[in-house]
Structure 1
Amino acid sequence: MSNSARPFSAFEWLIAWRYLRARRKEGGVSVMTWISLIGIALAVFALIATLAVRSGFRTEFVATILGANAHVTVLQQPYRNEFGQVVRTIETFDETAERVLMVEGVTRAAPTIRGQVLAAANGSNAGVEVVGQRLSDVQTLPLLAEPEISLGDLTRLEEGIAIGSGVAQTLGVGVGDMVQLISPNGVQGPFGTSPRTSTYEVVNIFQVGRFDIDRVRVYMPFAEAQSYFNRDGVVDELEVLVEDPERIDAYLDDILAAAGPNMLSWTWQQSAGGFLRALEMEDNIMFVILSILVLIATLNITSGLIMLVKNKGRDVGILRTMGLGQGSILRVFFICGASIGIVGTAVGVVLGCLFAIYIDPIFNAVNWLLGGGVWDPSVRFISQLPAELQLGDVLSAVALSLGLSFVVTIFPARRAARMNPVEALRYE
């Protein structure tokens, strides 16, 4: 051994390994090693699990928005007709839809009638949003074509209405039952406008997994919706879907140009902007908080190494008198601390990945142990806890943990390297 020894030589690893395996009389060092390792593993596990749930929550949230709503809604700019009435409807809607469908990247353009009405059945009432579309258009909505739960037959939409599971629960109805819809803007008569009341059979009950859709959404046949809402020959809007909704702004100019003059657009990002910004802010805050947790866990390495350096002062003095240089001593203790960080990080990565992969049975077990009711979809808008394991999240957690582990190891390692061998052996 000499001052010119190759960095991270085999003997340095051997010495570090012997120091990590503390003898019984030095059990405090061994305990600190285990505490440091477990602390880092739990911190990395918590970070990866949180990042996975965060990514899954955003993906699920966006998927439910995009699966049952328009990526962009095309609207008529309000204007006054020859009678002085404000008009917001689209007249040549089929021609407009055909032109919009010709835009590159557009996959769906559905003429839509939309209105707010009161639904009544079995003595119960519920405010609902009625969407009038052709059956072929309803079947092209991803979450309506393949919902979480579907009762009845959606293909019978022309014979009745399709309602969300929350609406069905509120009204206490099932497939085949009758629901009364009451619109305040109904029949025009000599004494003004009287409410319009119609009764429809429930032909389908759907659950898409987003509470604010399942709780209020009702689908009605297109022709019936035109008659019910006094929209003869016109529609309220065009529901447009595109190939890449995350880049919706790139499609807007072409869509509006194809739709014609005096048209407005309203994108899914605008309608859900508040939720998305809240999620992004929460993501950043949670990452900072959990990063502090990882930092606290890695500081245990510093405590353990300081104890190790103090206990191994005599050994360091002997090694220095034998010719081992400061660099070798520094690397020995750096290997001790870094090894704890690497092993702890690896264990945390494994636990975090397993949690993200098997989150459903884990969450179901927790929910069962706590008696249920842990997850309330009426508050969180999504019917189950999602998790999506992404390589970038795992790598960021690993980089953070290893980086902090290596940095906090340097101080006690330098202290050991600068130890004066004469002072270390003075009282031996």
Structure 2
Amino acid sequence: MASPAPFSRYEFMIAWRYLRARRAEGGVSVMTWISLIGITLGVMALIATLAVRAGFRAEFVDTILGANAHSTVYYSPTSIYNDLTEETYVTPGRIEDYDGLAAKIAALPGVTRATPVVRGQVMASQNDANNVAEVYGLTLDALKAIPRIADPETGMGNIDDFDKGIAIGSGLARELGVGVGDRVRLISPDGAQTAVGTTPRVESYDVTYVFTAGRYDIDRTRIYMPMPEAQSYFNREGVADEIEVFVEDPEKVDDFTMPLIQTAGERAQVWTWRDASGSFLKALDVEDDVMFIILSILVLIASMNITSGLIMLVKNKGRDIGILRTMGLTEGAVLRVFFLCGAFTGVIGTIAGVVLGVIFALNVDHIMSFVNWFSGGGAWDPSVRGIYELPAKLRGADIAKAVALSLALSFIVTIFPARRAARMNPVEALRYE
């Protein structure tokens, strides 16, 4: 007569019966319940943490790419030696034929657009409120092509009126106490050249558009000004400071560095969004790995409780093991029965953890609102975090990693007590019964 196949139906039936037995009958111990709850909470925390970390990184990168150039081309300063005065003068790098250079760069494969920009720093003031701001001078079409800036759902005012004034960030508008239609005074230390030197330039502009890019630092410090006005204001007549470049795949922006330098000339320098934020993104990646390891240890500790629960179950079921062995069950069958007891705990805890983790990730906004209310506000400080809210992004790969880790640990720690039950001598088990 052929022996039953491994993991037959009766093995599942016996294992499930042992798990459902009452404590008085030698069934599931308190340790098993502790391990079940621990695995559930560990998997939930792992999935929720991975979802929040993925959402934070995705939102952070999206705010970078949605309000900034993927790559920037500029010229390095040049040094000029004056034989008469025997002094060396450093002249800043300026792009004279900026429209022609922008057209050449835009023609490169993979480049979607190239925009000449004039940049400068000013002091923005209104009544008694003052704040440092960075001015970007560009055309209306270039402004409307920036996704996070030209978003009609977050912007206030008519962006088509940009040529009649300036566009400012919502954070800067809030600090200055201005809105659409108000006037803002801009003060630049590099103003008009006079016989006695350089005098500060002071001009007032109408606020025609208020944008919200989603980044605290951008909304609090950025101003957009029409290109001709910016050239006049910063003494850049006929020149631009840099060319902002946008590509089809921002993740591969480093592949465009050499083509951009070859197109712009030997004095050209390239600064990508990865150069500006690469160290922060690498820190996020390291933190993700560390958090995964720490939470994996928590899942391991919870899984270790399965071992304690199974050892107690094997001790309580010694008589049953002896009877099953005398009825013809092999060591392998007994091993599989108690392996399934521990595996059921791991599987049930993992499923419950996945469900709770997904629910947490999908409702993280409501949870953070409650935490913020309970703590009296300030639970999420955008001036520190950079973005305005805590996002979450569920990824199938993260859920799969959490499930695989939990099941693997649960199955591994189950093997030792299951082997102990399989090697139990039926004679010794029944001797005192």
The normalised TM-score by structure 2 is: 0.95
| Amino acid corresponding to residue 117 of structure 2 in structure 1 | T
- Render the CA deviation track for 1:210-255: whole Å, top value 9, x for unaligned: 1110110011111000000000000000111111111111122222
8 Å contact 1:185–1:194 — kept in the other structure?
yes
8 Å contact 2:214–2:387 — kept in the other structure?
yes
The answer to whether 1:395 aligns with 2:400 is yes
The answer to whether 1:337 aligns with 2:377 is no
Task: Give the corresponding residue for 1:77.
Answer: 76
Mapped partners of 2:246, 2:132: distance in 1: 27
The 5 Å alignment of 1:168-207 reads 168-207=173-212
For residue 27 of structure 1, report the CA deviation from its aligned partner. Answer: 7.1
Mapped partners of 1:273, 1:122: distance in 2: 39
- Render the CA deviation track for 1:302-351: whole Å, top value 9, x for unaligned: 11111111110111111112221110010000001011111111111112
The answer to whether 1:105 aligns with 2:110 is yes
Instruction: Choose 349-358 or 390-399, whichever is displaced more.
Output: 349-358
| Amino acid corresponding to residue 183 of structure 2 in structure 1 | M
The 5 Å alignment of 1:272-283 reads 272-283=277-288
Mapped partners of 2:25, 2:74: distance in 1: 76
Instruction: Choose 132-141 or 250-259, whichever is displaced more.
Output: 250-259
Task: Give the corresponding residue for 2:427.
Answer: 422
| Amino acid corresponding to residue 18 of structure 1 in structure 2 | R
| Amino acid corresponding to residue 236 of structure 1 in structure 2 | D
8 Å contact 2:18–2:27 — kept in the other structure?
no
Distance verdict in 2 for CA 1:3–1:406, change over 3 Å? farther
8 Å contact 1:176–1:202 — kept in the other structure?
yes
The 5 Å alignment of 1:309-324 reads 309-324=314-329
Mapped partners of 2:327, 2:14: distance in 1: 14
8 Å contact 1:147–1:207 — kept in the other structure?
no
Mapped partners of 2:362, 2:26: distance in 1: 37
The answer to whether 1:151 aligns with 2:156 is yes
Task: Give the corresponding residue for 1:33.
Answer: 32
Instruction: Choose 92-101 or 144-153, whichever is displaced more.
Output: 144-153
For residue 3 of structure 1, report the CA deviation from its aligned partner. Answer: 9.5
Task: Give the corresponding residue for 1:236.
Answer: 241
Q: Which runs of 5+ in 2 are unaligned?
A: 83-88
Mapped partners of 2:305, 2:180: distance in 1: 61
The 5 Å alignment of 1:325-364 reads 325-364=330-369
Mapped partners of 2:346, 2:67: distance in 1: 46
Task: Give the corresponding residue for 1:136.
Answer: 141
Task: Give the corresponding residue for 2:263.
Answer: 258
8 Å contact 2:113–2:247 — kept in the other structure?
yes
Q: Which runs of 5+ in 1 are unaligned?
A: none
Instruction: Choose 251-260 or 398-407, whichever is displaced more.
Output: 251-260
SS of equivalent residue, structure 1 residue 125: strand
Mapped partners of 2:234, 2:257: distance in 1: 29
Instruction: Choose 60-69 or 34-43, whichever is displaced more.
Output: 34-43
SS of equivalent residue, structure 2 residue 199: strand
8 Å contact 2:158–2:208 — kept in the other structure?
yes
Instruction: Choose 250-259 or 129-138, whichever is displaced more.
Output: 250-259
Mapped partners of 2:13, 2:314: distance in 1: 16
The size of the alignment, in residue pairs, is 427
8 Å contact 1:64–1:143 — kept in the other structure?
yes
The 5 Å alignment of 1:58-97 reads 58-80=57-79, 84-97=89-102
SS of equivalent residue, structure 2 residue 148: helix
For residue 370 of structure 1, report the CA deviation from its aligned partner. Answer: 3.2
- Render the CA deviation track for 1:273-330: whole Å, top value 9, x for unaligned: 2211211111111111111111111112111111111110111111112221110010
Mapped partners of 1:26, 1:192: distance in 2: 97
SS of equivalent residue, structure 2 residue 65: helix
- Render the CA deviation track for 1:369-390: whole Å, top value 9, x for unaligned: 3333211111100111111111
8 Å contact 1:148–1:208 — kept in the other structure?
no
Instruction: Choose 347-356 or 52-61, whichever is displaced more.
Output: 347-356
Mapped partners of 2:57, 2:195: distance in 1: 52
| Amino acid corresponding to residue 55 of structure 1 in structure 2 | A
8 Å contact 1:106–1:243 — kept in the other structure?
yes
Mapped partners of 1:8, 1:57: distance in 2: 44
The ranges of structure 1 where at least 4 consecutive aligned residues each deviate by more than 6 angstroms after the TM superposition are: none
Task: Give the corresponding residue for 2:275.
Answer: 270
For residue 26 of structure 1, report the CA deviation from its aligned partner. Answer: 4.3
Mapped partners of 1:92, 1:315: distance in 2: 90
Residue from 361, 383, 387 that aligns with 1:382: 387
| Amino acid corresponding to residue 223 of structure 2 in structure 1 | V
RMSD, matched Cα = 1.7
The answer to whether 1:406 aligns with 2:411 is yes
8 Å contact 2:183–2:207 — kept in the other structure?
yes
Distance verdict in 2 for CA 1:138–1:81, change over 3 Å? farther
The answer to whether 1:214 aligns with 2:219 is yes
8 Å contact 1:20–1:33 — kept in the other structure?
no
For residue 30 of structure 1, report the CA deviation from its aligned partner. Answer: 4.5
The normalised TM-score by structure 1 is: 0.96
Task: Give the corresponding residue for 1:23.
Answer: 22
SS of equivalent residue, structure 1 residue 347: helix
8 Å contact 2:39–2:303 — kept in the other structure?
yes
The answer to whether 1:304 aligns with 2:309 is yes
Mapped partners of 2:299, 2:131: distance in 1: 49
